[in-house]
Amino acid sequence: MINNEETTIDQMLRPQKWNEYIGQEKIKKHLKIMIEATNKRNEAMDHILLAGQAGLGKTTLAYLIAKELGGKIKITSGPALEKMGDVAAILTNLEPKDILFIDEAHRINRLIEEVLYPAMEMRKLHLIIGKGPSARNLTIDLPPFTLIAATTRENLLSHPLRSRFGAIFRLNYYDLNDIITILKRSAKILKIKITNEALNILAKASRATPRLANRLLKRSRDYALVNDTDIITEKEAEKTLELLEIDNLGLEPQDRKILEIIIHKFRGGPVGLKSLAAALNEDQGVIEDIYEPYLISLGFLQRTSAGRIVLPAAYKHLGIHKQGGLIE
C-alpha cells in the first residue's frame, strides 16, 4: 500500500487533547472560556480568527476547538474557494455545531467575502439563481456553525471581514522549553530515542515553531536510521542540521543572505523593502512574512520608518566585524 507517510506522521503528532497542546497559554485560557460558555448556552460559538506564522499550530487549535464543541470540522482555504457555488455547497452541507475552517483567509476573493458576511452575521446564505431578467434571489437558512479563519497575514484581511469575528487570537513563537516539551512528546509517539543534548540542539534550530521542530526530529530520525544507530545524539542532530544547511539558531541560507546583503550592499541599512527585494530577487511579501519575523524575534533585524537595519547581534552571529562603521 502506498500512503503518504509524512502526512500520517503529522496527523499522529497533532495534539488530540487540550492538555497536549503546549504553550499559547493566554489564547488557550480565553478559548476555554468561550467554549465553556458556548456549551452552557448550547449555541454556536462566535466566529474566530487565528493569526500568526505558518506552523505555529492554528489548524491544530481549530481541530481541538471542534472536538470541544462536539462538532465536525470542514477544512478549506481562501484560494480553494473560487466560485460562489463552492462556498454555497460547503455552507449548506454544514450541521449544527460544525466548524468551517478557512485557511489562508487573506486570499479569499471579494465575491466570496460578500457571501460570507450574511452567513457569518445572520447565518443566512443569499444566492442569485439564474441570469438577466429571470434572475431570482434565494435565501437559505444555515445551521448554527462557527467559522474559524486562519491567516499568516492579518494586515491583508479586509476590514469588513475582520470586524465580523467575535475574537482574534494572535499566535506567538514558542519558548524553547515548550518546543522541547513538544519534541519529547513527538519522540515518544514515534518511539524515537533522543538525548537531552540533541533535543536542545533541534529545539534551538526550530525557529520556535512546532511544525519545524517536528520536521527536524523526523529528519534526524532518518539520519540515525541510515547510519545504523537507534538513538539521536548530539552528533546525529548536528549532522542533520548540517545536511539541511540550517545553523544552530535555525537560520537557513536565505536568512543569512538577507542579513549579508543588507550588511554588505547597504552598509547594514536602513534599506527599504523594495530595494532589498530587488537585491535578493525575492518577493516582498515572502521577505516580510516568512523571513523577517523570525530575524526580528532573534533581535537580528529591525524595521524602522527609514527601512530595515541589521542589529549588532546578527553581526556577532555571522562573525562579521563592524568597526567604526567599516565592515571587515
Closer residue to ligand ADE in complex, CB, 27/87: 27
Q: Are 69 and 102 in contact (CB under 8 A)?
A: no
- C-alpha distances in Å from residue 323, one per residue of 259, 267, 309, 320: 17, 12, 16, 10
Distance CA 144, CA 93 (A): 12
Residue of 38, 58, 60, 146 with catalytic role: 58
Which residue is it, cell 536510521? Answer: 225
What minimum distance in Å lies between the beta carbon of 22 and ligand ADE? Answer: 4
Shortest CB 57 distance to ligand ADE, Å: 3
* Residue 152: active-site member: yes
Binding of ligand ADE at residue 60 (CB under 6 A)?
yes
Cβ pair 171, 57 in contact under 8 A: yes
Residue bearing cell 458576511: 117
Whole-number Å distance between alpha carbons of 47 and 36: 15
Planar angle of CA 61, 63, 67, nearest 5 degrees: 115
Q: Is 105 in the site for ligand ADE (CB under 6 A)?
A: no
User: Nearest distance from residue 60's CB to ligand ADE, in Å?
Assistant: 5
Is 103 an active-site residue? yes
59 noted as active-site residue: yes
Q: Which stretch binds ligand ADE (CB under 6 A): 15-23, 41-49, 109-117, 193-201?
A: 15-23
101 contributes a contact to ligand ADE by CB under 6 A: no
Any bridge partners for residue 127, and if so which? 138
Looking at 19-27, 100-108, 143-151, 297-305, which segment touches ligand ADE (CB under 6 A)?
19-27
Q: What one-letter code names the amino acid at 327?
A: I
Size of the site for ligand ADE (CB under 6 A): 8
Which residue has the closest beta carbon to ligand ADE?
Answer: 57
Decide if 58 is catalytic: yes
C-alpha cell at 172: 506567538
Nearest to 167 by CA among 45, 37, 25, 68: 45
d(CA 273, CA 287): 8
Catalytic residue selected from 97, 98, 103, 207: 103
Binding mask 143-182 for ligand ADE (x = CB under 6 A): ---------------------------------------x
Question: Is residue 21 at the binding interface for ligand ADE, with CB under 6 A as the rule?
Answer: yes
Query: Given the complex with ligand ADE, which of 23 and 269 has the nearer CB atom?
Result: 23
178 given a catalytic annotation: no
Draw the binding track, 185-224, toward ligand ADE (x: CB under 6 A; -: no contact). Answer: -------------------------x--------------
- In the list 27, 31, 57, 146, the residue contacting ligand ADE (rule: CB under 6 A) is 57
The residue assigned the cell 465553556 is 36
Helix axes 110-121, 84-92, angle to 10 degrees: 20
Q: CA 133, 135, 139 angle in degrees (round to 5)?
A: 150
Segment lying near ligand ADE (by CB under 6 A), choices 20-28, 228-236, 237-245, 279-287? 20-28
The set of residues, in sequence order, having a beta carbon less than 8 Å from that of 65 and lying 6+ positions away, is 31, 35, 45, 48, 99, 146, 148
Active-site residues, by number, are 58-59, 103, 152, 211
Positions in the binding site for ligand ADE (CB under 6 A): 15, 21-23, 57, 60, 182, 210
